[in-house]
Amino acid sequence: MNRKLVKRDFPTKTTFSQRVRRLSAGLLTTTGRVLHRSGVHPDALTLAGLGMVALASLFLAQGDWLLAWTILLLGLPLDALDGATARARGPARPFGAFLDSTLDRYADALMLGSLALHYAQTGALWLVGLAIVALHGALTVSYTRARAEGLGIACEVGWFSRLERLAVLLIALPLNALDERSLNVALIILAVGTQITALQRILYVAKVSHQPEELQAP
């Protein structure tokens, strides 16, 4: 008799990102259907979202915090509406999901890289280092999830997924216009928080992958 190995994931706590997605699901679904009926392609929304981040990053590099914050805030809905519009189209398209995830990494690099560039120009090398560590952490958080899912393990655990990272920046940018220490604190939070999140995912995958496997007949 042929048998296959079946691995169960451990239950995890609901993350902030998951709560936000659940609360906004109805509105996003409705808006996604409207955009689909209007002929808007989800990939166009994904590309437009990256364009908004790229524009905001130019102002981040120049230290124009309020303008960068405004552009990021205006572009934020695009990051959610591309998925909602794609779902309204019908069957899932692997390339759309791949493009969305890939361009999110470009967006991470643009935002944190532009902050590193700004602080390099001002001579605050310790803040350049924090931005680099935060960028490394952001990419590692994403990679650990993608690699785990490639192994068949759902991995959304951790404190600082992309939505949490965006929230930290969106809170700190307008405050930084009043007190320039705000972004310093935000970069410390992002640098430490992303590294901890990557470690949380590594430990979670280690726990799941070492659990006893059940043999089930097909």
Domain count, the chain: 1
4: in domain: no
27: in domain: yes
- Select which of 82, 104, 108, 179 is catalytic: 104
* Whole-number pLDDT of residue 30: 87
Q: Which residues contact 202 (CB under 8 A, 6 or more apart)?
A: 144
Asked about 104 being catalytic, the answer comes back as yes
6: in domain: no
Q: Which residues contact 204 (CB under 8 A, 6 or more apart)?
A: 10, 12, 148, 155, 157
CB 81 within 8 A of CB 28: yes
191: in domain: yes
* Whole-number pLDDT of residue 109: 96
Average pLDDT per run of 10 along the chain, which is 218 residues long?
42 65 76 87 93 97 96 90 85 85 94 97 95 96 92 88 93 92 96 96 90 46
Would you call 188 exposed, middle or buried from its count of C-beta atoms within 10 A (0-12, 13-18, 19+)? middle
* Whole-number pLDDT of residue 168: 96
22: in domain: yes
76: in domain: yes
What is the C-alpha separation between 60 and 7, in angstroms, rounded?
Answer: 45
CATH of residue 99's domain is 1.20.120.1760
3: in domain: no
* Residue ranges making up the domain that contains 70: 13-211
CB 168 within 8 A of CB 189: yes
What is the C-alpha separation between 114 and 105, in angstroms, rounded?
Answer: 14
Tokens of 44: 């166009």
Tokens of 185: 């604190």
pTM: 0.84
* Whole-number pLDDT of residue 36: 86
* Whole-number pLDDT of residue 17: 67
Give the CA count within 13 Å in the CB-facing half-sphere of 68: 28
2: in domain: no
